[in-house]
Each structure stands twice: as C-alpha cells, then as structure tokens.
Chains A and B, each alone.
Chain A
Amino acid sequence: MVFDKFLPVFVFLLAMDVTQPALAYLDPTTGSMALQALVGGIAGALFVIKIYWLRIKNFFSRKKNIKTVETKE
C-alpha cells in the first residue's frame, strides 16, 4: 500500500526538514499525488479502525459474549 511506503518519510520529515535538489523527468505533481495517497491511506486506516471499534463496542455491549472472548484468549 502506498500509505505504508510513505509513512517512514512522513515521520522522517517531522523530525528533520530537509530539501533535495529537483531534477527533470519527474512529473511535478508527484509530490501532490503521494501526499493525497497518504491522506487517502490515513482516511482508509481511520475507517478500518472505526469499523473495528464499532465491532468491539458491539461485541462488549452484548454481555453474553464476554465469556466467549475470555475463553478464546
């Protein structure tokens, strides 16, 4: 996933603000596309987390199932 690929870059950036020389042969919109891939990736990840959170919430709200979880663990 593109998101995974750029995550280290993002972390690196926050720690260190560096710039590299630009060269030709690279579409000038590449940075914007990668940025939006990242935004899309984060939005997707948040969506997945939300879904799982809802599942967990539902799971615990149905009290009879608590035991099942404990036995599985």
Chain B
Amino acid sequence: MINSVRPELGSFRDPRGRIFYIGDRVFRSIAATAIEDFEFVLGTGLLDRLSASGKAITTAPVAPEIGQKFGADAVYVVEHSRLPFISYPYEWPFAALKAAALLHLDVQLEALEADISLSDASAYNVQFVGACPVFIDILSFRKYREGEIWAGHHQFCEQFLAPLLLQSRLGVSYNHWYRGSPEGISIADLRRLLPWTAKLSLNVLVHIVLQSSLQSSALSKNENKSSLAAAKLPRSSYRHMLEKMRAWIATLEPAGTKRTVWREYADNHTYSDDEVSAKKEFIARFAASVKPAIVWDMGCNTGDYSDVALKNGAELCIGFDADHGALDLAYSRARSESLNFLPLYLDGANPTPNQGWNESERKSLAARADADGLIALAFVHHIAIGRNVPLANVVNWLMALAPQGVIEFVPKRDPMVRNLLALREDIFPDYNEDAFLAAVSARAEIVETRSVTRSGRLLVRYRKA
C-alpha cells in the first residue's frame, strides 16, 4: 500500500491539476489544459526565484516512471516539498492572516514583473512553514494577458481583507465566523457592520462599500454580463491596485487584543519564578529525551514552553490557544526570534471539525494529529471545569493527539481553579489528582511525575506503548 497513489480529497476545485500522495511524498499532476501556462511560467524562472526566497513551495519535475502512476490525464507531474502541518485561515491569528495576505500580494507583484498573473486569491493557497507563510498553488499562475483585471480581487477581499477589517475596525475576531463560512467573510455583511466613520476611508469605500454596491446594483438591473467580461484594466492600474492594497494591509493592526487576560498571564500568573523554572526544566528534559519532530503545545499562550521545547530538541512546534492577544504575541515572537513555531487559534472544547465539500475538503484537528510529542500545561482544568467535560475524557482526547507528552494537572486548591469555581457550584467530585493519574495510566505508561508548585500542580510525562 505504501506505493499506492492517494488523491488529496481537498484538491478538486481546479480541474487543471490535482494533488496526490505516494507514501509521505507530495505530487501534483498537471492536465493538458494547463500545460501551456505551466510551461510558460516554468520558462520565466519565477517558481525557482519564489522558492529560493522562501515565498513559494519548492517544485521539481519527477522521473517518468513516477509520472506514469497518475494516469492518462496527467500530462506532467511535479513533486513538492512536504509541508509538516496543514493549517487553515480560520485557525490563523490576526498577525498570521495578515502575513499571508502580504505574501499573497508580494507573490502577485513579483509574478506580474514576469508577465504572470494569478487566477485566484484563495487564502487556502497559503500555508505556513514555522511562522513563515508560503504560497503553495503553483497552478494559479498563468500568462498575463494585457488589460486583464485582477481576477482574484473579490476572493482576496472576502478571504483576507474582510476578516482583517473585522478585527482591526470592530475588534471582533473572525475565527468562528470564518470557520462557519470557509469561503470567507462576505463584503456585503462586513459593510452592514462597519460604522459610517470606518467608511470615510477611501480604501473601505472602494473595496467594501463600492464593490458590494456594484454587486447589488448588477443584481437588480440584470446587468449585461458581456460588457463586464470585456472590462479592461491597464497594467499600471492592476499593479497600482496591488500596491495600494499591500500598503493598506501593512497598516492594519488588531483592535481589542492589547490587554487580554492571557497576554499578560506570563507576567501576572500566581506562581513563583522557581516554579516556572521547575516547569521549564521538566519540559526541557522531555524534549531532549524524545526529540520530537513535531510537538503540539495545547494552551501555548505566548509560547514560553514551546520555546523551551524547541531549544531542547523539538524541531517544530504547533501551538494552540484561544486567546487572541496571546496568539499575536506568540506569532510575532516566532517571527522575530525565527522560531520554528506556529501558534494557531483553537477552542479546545470545540476543535476544528472536518468540513467543506463532502466533509472532507478541510480536515479536522484529529485528522491532522500526527505530532510526536504533546505539551498541555494548565490546559486540562479549562476544559474539565470551565467547560464541564469529564476529566477522563479530556485526558483521553489529549493523549490521542501524540504518543508521548507532558500534561499538567492543576488541583482544586490552586488559585486559578478556585477562580473558575468561585461563582458556581462545584459539580466536579471526580476532579482530583488520583482520578487524573488513573486516566493517564489507563492509556499509557507514566514515565515521570513532578509536583511543581506549592498549590500542588503536578506534571506528568506519559509514553504510550
């Protein structure tokens, strides 16, 4: 089975090519209809330049005997470097979505210099290697035709611009909405929400108000489509639109995340520096002995412990948190310190499901769980007590994510758990250390435990057989 060709179920929208896997290698078949554009793009050297600068995924032709496995439709087959983890725009924190938007525009501007345009502007065409965005859909490139319009403009507005504006103009996070609407946030909806003061901006007026109004007026007038299809945009205006959009997006900053609880947690937590050192030392020892290729840090906050894991033997860390302020700090730290670390938005009690066409286009978190190591510090009580999920279920769910890892148990006498229970009845008689240890040992061997705070927080390292 290892040599069988497995199609990627999410790769079907563009009939000009498909993604396939053989073992853990990634291939793209290219159909006859795309060959002319693809060969033109190859001839310009754009793909090599973009991959050399880290802006696009590497693409290499494959040996003919591999190409034959893809059937008659595949006129050409290329191999891409494998991405360690696939994430989706609804999981990206603001700073990551912004970085992806800027990359998309940079790639497009560089392509235009080589007489190449992009056929779309899907946010799913960007992935992250560590915290760095990378463009992956090389079949979106095609020969630029003089006077053509920016074909992906509408998609760019709904998949990048509108979510960013929702956060920066209204202080509302886009992640839930985007997950429920994977094509992006409609500009008509955003327009209804934006206050009139936001519409004083010429950029908002043009790309949101005017665009959505032209859309509605075309609808009511049953506009003659052929006149639109023949619309011409001079090349200089095309480039100008991209440059202006880039300059605008570069100025967008998130509103309402400057002072979130968890962003300041690292400074205001309830335990001492000694206790922090003890936790860090435990994580360092775990990372050094396991040397995980990928470690998941559930409840990563600003990435302190991800950083420890990375500096002690972990190759890549994917962090998950539900606090936008902490995530933005974590992301900017990953970029500024060049950490191989990608912090993502996740509500642990409502993880990303399978969704999209046939519920297989965009994968669930569980379907993408191929971590070698897990860190879940101060995470369990938020789900077990904050969201009423039985303790054993939380432990089982976490341990299914990776074969070995470190999970922290925070007891009821800890000030943070006391806070969670301060205004509600304690309906958690089974939330205690013995029950926690029993749940862990039911699924794996307990390698090491250590009590790290005076309140009795316990770190447990497990290893599944």
Contact = CB atoms under 8 A, between A and B. Distances in A.
Answer whether A and B are interacting partners. yes
A43 B215 contact: no
A68 interface: no
B14 to A, nearest CB: 16
Nearest to B151: A29
B192 interface: yes
Interface residues of B, number: 42
Interface of chain B, main secondary structure: helix
Interface in A27-73: 27-40, 43-44, 47
Contacts of B234: 40, 43-44, 47
B428 to A, nearest CB: 47
Contacts of A13: 209-210, 213
A9 B217 contact: yes
A30 B214 contact: yes
Given A20-B219, A37-B231, A32 B154 contact: yes
A61 to B, nearest CB: 27
Interface stretch (B220-228, B247-255, B373-381, B410-418): B220-228
Question: Looking at chain A, what size class is its interface with the partner chain?
Answer: 20 to 34
B211 A31 contact: yes
Interface of chain A, main secondary structure: helix
B219 A36 contact: no
Interface in A1-20: 2, 5-6, 9-10, 13-14, 17-20
A31 B215 contact: yes
Given A2-B227, A31-B187, 16 more contacts: A2-B228, A2-B231, A6-B214, A13-B213, A17-B199, A19-B192, A20-B217, A22-B219, A30-B225, A31-B218, A32-B154, A36-B153, A36-B241, A37-B233, A39-B233, A40-B237
9 contacts: A2-B231, A19-B213, A20-B219, A28-B215, A30-B225, A36-B149, A37-B233, A39-B237, A40-B233
